[in-house]
Amino acid sequence: MNLMYKSTRNSEHKVVASQAILQGLSSDGGLYVPESIPQLSKSMDELAKMDYPTLAYEVMKLYFTDYTEEELRNCINRAYDDKFDTPHIAPIKAVGDSYYLELFHGATIAFKDMALSILPHLLTTAAKKNKVKEDIVILTATSGDTGKAALSGFADVDGTKIVVFYPKDGVSSVQKKQMVTQKGSNTLVIAVEGNFDDTQTGVKAIFNNKDLAKEMKERGYRFSSANSINIGRLIPQVVYYVYAYANLYKNGVIKNGEKINFVVPTGNFGNILAAYYGKRMGLPIDKLICASNENKVLYDFFETGRYDKNREFVLTTSPSMDILISSNLERLIYQIADCDSSITRELMEALSSEGAYEISDSMKDNLAGFIGGWADSNEAKETIHRVYNEDKYVLDTHTAVATTVYNNYMKETGDKTKTVIVSTASPYKFADSVLEAIQSDSVPAEDYDQALMLKDLSGVDIPKAVEEIHSAPVLHKITCKVDEMEDNIKEYLKII
């Protein structure tokens, strides 16, 4: 019997995993969720002996039940290979009194690689299984890291094209350079005059445009999404939470069954939602601490039960968290509404018409275990400085937000529970802000000089991803307005 996936906005509509992955978003605008969250089927003693790909199979097979063992293992083996600079894939580092789960050892040195290195394989396998004849056009809005990770995952993958939109002034210089230098005959990268939410809203409108979908089909194309709303991105992220726990257990840091906390620097709510799924699968997790920057919609939501995106959008030094509409929160809303799709639909409709909604008291009760926190760019900067001075460990700006939130949480609660801070990017990706924090007086102007300085300070080699873009030519130069996004796609696919 297959695990079926339902839309968060319509419980009548059910599909198998491969169809949910192909579609990305459900046609009613909802997100696909598993009908029930499966339980871990192996003991922690068994899981602790597994390497990353083996463990990944144990977790993913519980969700992607219509993939054969061969298909799924094949996807996993093609994803978690030497594109990562360590065979551990997601290593844990003990620093001071906490543990960092480093999710930045993949091709684009940010955590998006964890899911986007496998998604193209899950997707092309799904297309084969479902006898899809059209080429798949991946359409993505990015606040920086998704774009490059998706481009790198899909570049030159047969039967796919990939179009990435990014907010013109909303990504770091390295992020931008990584994207505009992307090779591959099937890639298109466009800067949008607007912020990330404008860009994401534009992409969602294109997805929901039925006329366009029809035109596309006539020309042999269909859209799919690599954004974190795709269930094929969410589930691979559950793996590293299980892996982190199994590792701490294996190394004697925790006893079997001992509860731990995770602190997650959050934007679209995908990463921390994967931790929540892990917890619901039986992983011993106590608190899930959701760390935001100045765009603290989620912090306010956890404090008050009211989600309100009507506020000023702030550009921070942690751009991948500069988000006011956290798309994946819809999946949590659905869970805390006891899987009631009409409640979820009403709240999401209120979000799109009024920009705000408020959850009921019983839903609020179901949020127990989540803690919200936030830190501004200045505090994050001080944290980078302090952790470097104390431990010679260099945090990136996003991870620094999480560390700050955790320190504040510790001060307030005295919670002694062992805690893993999820580290979502290499400091090399945000070298200017990181160097500014460590020694503000002498930051070189050029990206590559910054990398060299960071190497001196941290003793960590310059990652391949940074070496590569050093001399690469700019291949993507288009900038457009939000209302021109669709035309650009049509032009690229020659359907104008």
Ligand X SMILES: *Cc1c(COP(=O)(O)O)cnc(C)c1O
By the criterion CB under 6 A, which residues form the site for ligand X?
A: 110-112, 145, 228, 265-271, 320-321, 398, 424-425
DSSP 33-61: EESSPPPP-S-HHHHHT--HHHHHHHHHT
DSSP 219-276: TTEEEEE-STTSHHHHHHHHHHHHHHHHHHHHTTSS-TT--EEEEEE-SSSHHHHHHH
Q: Three-state SS for 475?
A: coil
Minimum distance between the CB of residue 112 and ligand X, rounded to whole angstroms? Answer: 5
Q: Which CB, 147 or 202, lies closer to ligand X?
A: 147
Minimum distance between the CB of residue 185 and ligand X, rounded to whole angstroms? Answer: 26
Dihedral-angle region of residue 144 (phi above 0 means left; psi in -120 to 50 means alpha; beta otherwise): left
- Give the separation between CA 148 and CA 406, rounded to whole angstroms: 29
Cα of first residue to Cα of last residue in the chain, in angstroms, is: 44
Q: Which CB, 102 or 436, lies closer to ligand X?
A: 102
Minimum distance between the CB of residue 249 and ligand X, rounded to whole angstroms? Answer: 25
Listed residue (51, 49, 39, 126) closest to 90, CA to CA = 51
Q: Which CB, 129 or 177, lies closer to ligand X?
A: 177
Return the beta strands (E) in 390-433 as ranges.
Answer: 419-423
Q: Which CB, 122 or 425, lies closer to ligand X?
A: 425
Minimum distance between the CB of residue 459 and ligand X, rounded to whole angstroms? Answer: 22
Minimum distance between the CB of residue 426 and ligand X, rounded to whole angstroms? Answer: 9
* Tokens found for residue 155: 């570049």
Q: Which residues contact 392 (CB under 8 A, 6 or more apart)?
A: 458, 459
Minimum distance between the CB of residue 424 and ligand X, rounded to whole angstroms? Answer: 3
Q: Which CB, 129 or 429, lies closer to ligand X?
A: 429
Q: Which CB, 140 or 228, lies closer to ligand X?
A: 228
Minimum distance between the CB of residue 467 and ligand X, rounded to whole angstroms? Answer: 20
Dihedral-angle region of residue 488 (phi above 0 means left; psi in -120 to 50 means alpha; beta otherwise): alpha
Minimum distance between the CB of residue 174 and ligand X, rounded to whole angstroms? Answer: 12
Q: Which CB, 124 or 424, lies closer to ligand X?
A: 424
Q: Which CB, 125 or 403, lies closer to ligand X?
A: 403
**Pairing relation of β-strands 356-358 and 187-193?**
unpaired
Instruction: Please state, in angstroms and as integers, the Cα–Cα distance from residue 82 to each residue in 43, 88, 467, following that order.
Output: 28, 11, 17
- Give the separation between CA 469 and CA 125, rounded to whole angstroms: 31
Are 68 and 309 a contacting pair, CB within 8 Å?
no
Q: Which CB, 254 or 402, lies closer to ligand X?
A: 402
Q: Which residues contact 32 (CB under 8 A, 6 or more apart)?
A: 5, 6, 7, 8, 15, 20, 23, 26, 231
Q: Which CB, 269 or 406, lies closer to ligand X?
A: 269
Minimum distance between the CB of residue 75 and ligand X, rounded to whole angstroms? Answer: 21
Q: Which CB, 34 or 267, lies closer to ligand X?
A: 267
- Give the separation between CA 181 and CA 448, rounded to whole angstroms: 15
Listed residue (484, 472, 476, 493) closest to 190, CA to CA = 476
Minimum distance between the CB of residue 222 and ligand X, rounded to whole angstroms? Answer: 25
Minimum distance between the CB of residue 123 and ligand X, rounded to whole angstroms? Answer: 19
What's the angle, vertex CA 400, arms to CA 257 and CA 452, rounded to 5?
120
